[in-house]
Amino acid sequence: MTARTGGVGTEARESVGWLASLAWPTAARASAAIAVPLITLTLLGHHQVGLMASTGAFTVLYGAGRPLRYRWKMLVVVALGFVASSALGALTAGIGWAAIALLTLIGAVATFATLALRVGPPGAFFFVMVAGVAGFIPAQGSVSPTLMIAATAIGAGCAVPIAMADLLLNPAAPQLRALRQARSAVERFLAANPYSDGAEMLSQHAAAALHHAWGMLWDSGDTTSRRPGATARVAELQGLHRSYAAQMLPGTSPNPDLAADQAEAPLRLPTTRQMLVRGFRSPTVPLDAAGRVALGIVVSGLIALTAGTDHIYWAMMVAALVLYQGLDRRRSLIRARNRFVGTIVGLAIFALITLADPSQWVTVAILIVLQGAIELAVPRNYAVAVSLITPLALTIATSGGGDAVGQVISERLLDTVIGLAVAVLVLLLVARGSAMPMVRAYVARVLRSCGNALDHIGAGTVAGPTGAAAQLELALDMQDLSLVAGRALTDDPEGMVTWLESREATAWLGLTVLARCAHARGPADGVGGATWACWSLAGSAGRGLPPSPLTLGNLRAVIR
């Protein structure tokens, strides 16, 4: 069991509460990350450079709550990505067609990478935003592209150590927090009647907490460490895992996404290369979302360029903001509505700030407060978060500009309407038929991976490196299947009808294969037929034929 195997729906439902629990510390670090370079540079007489450095300060928003080893690597990569995005934006400032091409590239690559690597919030949007702001400011003629890039680098450089500050006193705090959450969730589940009305929800919480905790221990290096503290944490989590698995074995849960595999030690986490390669196996959610974002940016940018708006970047940023998460169409449309409402409120806030004509130091205070408030709002209310992001971004982008506030607001509103309209059309027209092909593809992948794992069971190599790799592929495929099936139920419920039972039976088969792998000892007879059956059913599913639930049930009986 690992943080990247199991029910994605469970993990997604838990993420909001987990992020909310981290909101105050994250908000404090976010405010500090924007405050340090902004105050320092303002004191040195470079207030505008301090404002521009805020683009790099967004680095602090990534990796919140993650272990030290994982977090610093992510922060360095994000910081370098922001500097590269700023460079691409600044060096194409004022060149409309080049800006559209580069923002499309940045949006598509960032969306694919963050989804394929499961980076989590805030995802790809800030890469697009940094490039957009970096392209707009030099285009006004008061700032050189080199200074814009340098400012972003200063902000990112300050943000990395600030983002790590909460680990100074207790480097193991993220692992210990995850263990406490897992212990509490498992104890609540074990204390309940497994067939009561609330048992499924308790199982869901326990499974999510265990998945999260295993991921924390892997990311921190605890699972391979010989340090006493690390080995004690691993031993405790193994005990919690066994207690949960003994209560919720494959076949006793009403929901296959909530059942635990019975391995006493977790499967290793996939490598970065492995996750990126998996993302390119079309159709996949990362490729699908990257394509949507690219199309949305290109079309909105061309429309804004044709309309002659002063800031085509804003239209492209709005389109990317709606499309980058790869959500189902219903939730993405809700996101578009919230974006519109939030932008209207945000423009009003920006107008009040501009009309008040605040001093440099009042502006500094406003930006620091806005940055912290955004982080408090994101896990709770997206519309409120957008209403705060809008004045923050506009205050940074219009630093040193001479445009009248009315002109800025009217153009931003037009750009917002363009970006949202394009994003909605992409969702309604392009994304409409993408759910079911993905379900069929992932059912086929799970069945193929079942066959591969069974092949190792038969050969007695399931415990070796290649057998472990086959188990990991199966677990990852099952997780992806859970994700895309949930999306298809919302986007295309009619199309999902003929695949619903087959999808559930496939998930149960995968769980049974993983359980058999955990207990396999030496070569096993009698699984060769099941291996070939899985491969054959995978081929049929890939061609659009749902596998028979009865056949899949018989395969489970043979394997068990």
Task: Round to whole Å and give the CA distance between 332 and 119.
Answer: 19
Which residues, 6+ apart, have CB-to-CB distance to 213 below 8 Å? 3, 175, 178, 179, 181, 182, 237, 240
The 10s digit of each residue's pLDDT in 509-548 is 887 887 777 777 667 766 778 889 999 999 998 888 999 8
Where among 247, 266, 288 does a domain terminate?
A: 247
Task: Round to whole Å and give the CA distance between 148 and 158.
Answer: 16
Task: Round to whole Å and give the CA distance between 72 and 5.
Answer: 24
Closest CA to 189 of 181, 201, 171, 177: 201
CA 273-278-281 angle, to 5 degrees, is 135
Does residue 310 lie in a domain region? no
Closest CA to 339 of 398, 391, 417, 405: 417
Per residue, the 3-state secondary structure of 171-187, as one string, reads CCHHHHHHHHHHHHHHH
Is a pLDDT exceeding 80 seen at residue 268?
no
Tokens describing residue 522: 């030496």
State the average pLDDT for the chain.
81
Is a pLDDT exceeding 50 seen at residue 425?
yes
Task: Round to whole Å and give the CA distance between 13 and 30.
Answer: 24
pLDDT for res 368: 92
Residue bearing the bigger pLDDT, 475 or 255: 475
Is a pLDDT exceeding 80 seen at residue 498?
yes
pLDDT band for position 5 (50/70/90)? very low
Does residue 551 lie in a domain region? yes
Task: Round to whole Å and give the CA distance between 213 and 67.
Answer: 11
Closest CA to 176 of 226, 238, 234: 234
Region 14-40: mean pLDDT is 74
Is a pLDDT exceeding 80 seen at residue 354?
yes
Does residue 61 lie in a domain region? yes
Does residue 85 lie in a domain region? yes
Question: Residue 472 sits in which domain range?
Answer: 432-559
Does residue 478 lie in a domain region? yes
Q: Which long-range contacts (CB under 8 A, 24 or more apart) does 430-433 make?
A: 430/291, 430/292, 430/295, 431/288, 431/292, 431/329, 431/332, 431/491, 432/329, 432/491, 432/492, 433/492
Residue bearing the bigger pLDDT, 262 or 489: 489
Burial of 97 (0-12, 13-18, 19+ CB in 10 A): exposed
Instruction: Assign residue 255 a region (left: φ > 0; alpha: ψ between -120 and 50; beta: otherwise).
Output: beta
Does residue 471 lie in a domain region? yes
Tokens describing residue 329: 């169409």
Nearest 10 degrees: CA dihedral of 29, 398, 297, 486? 30
Closest CA to 392 of 20, 49, 71, 58: 58
Does residue 47 lie in a domain region? yes
% of the chain with per-residue pLDDT over 90: 20
pLDDT band for position 399 (50/70/90)? low
Look up the pTM and report it: 0.82
Lowest pLDDT segment from 129-133, 361-365, 376-380 = 376-380
Does residue 340 lie in a domain region? no
pLDDT for res 14: 41
Where among 247, 265, 284 does a domain terminate?
A: 247
Q: Which of 106-115, 281-290, 467-476 has the highest mean pLDDT?
A: 106-115
Cis omega (within 30 of 0) for bond into 493? no
Which residues, 6+ apart, have CB-to-CB distance to 550 below 8 Å? none
Region 434-459: mean pLDDT is 88
Closest CA to 540 of 499, 504, 490: 499
Taking a C-beta distance cutoff of 8 angstroms, is the pair 174, 65 a contact? yes
Task: Round to whole Å and give the CA distance between 508 and 503.
Answer: 9
The CA–CA distances, whole Å, from 489 to 254, 346, 494, 495 equal 18, 34, 8, 8
Spell out the alpha helix ranges (H) of 248-311: 272-279, 285-307
Closest CA to 186 of 257, 140, 135, 245: 245
Is a pLDDT exceeding 90 seen at residue 82?
yes
Closest CA to 423 of 107, 55, 12, 95: 107
Which residues, 6+ apart, have CB-to-CB distance to 318 below 8 Å? 300, 339, 343, 415, 416, 418, 419, 420, 423
pLDDT for res 127: 93
pLDDT for res 373: 86
The 10s digit of each residue's pLDDT in 142-155 is 788 899 999 999 99
Query: What is the domain count for the chain?
Result: 2
Is a pLDDT exceeding 50 seen at residue 189?
yes
Task: Round to whole Å and give the CA distance between 161 and 191.
Answer: 42
Task: Round to whole Å and give the CA distance between 449 and 447.
Answer: 5
% of the chain with per-residue pLDDT over 70: 86
pLDDT for res 92: 82
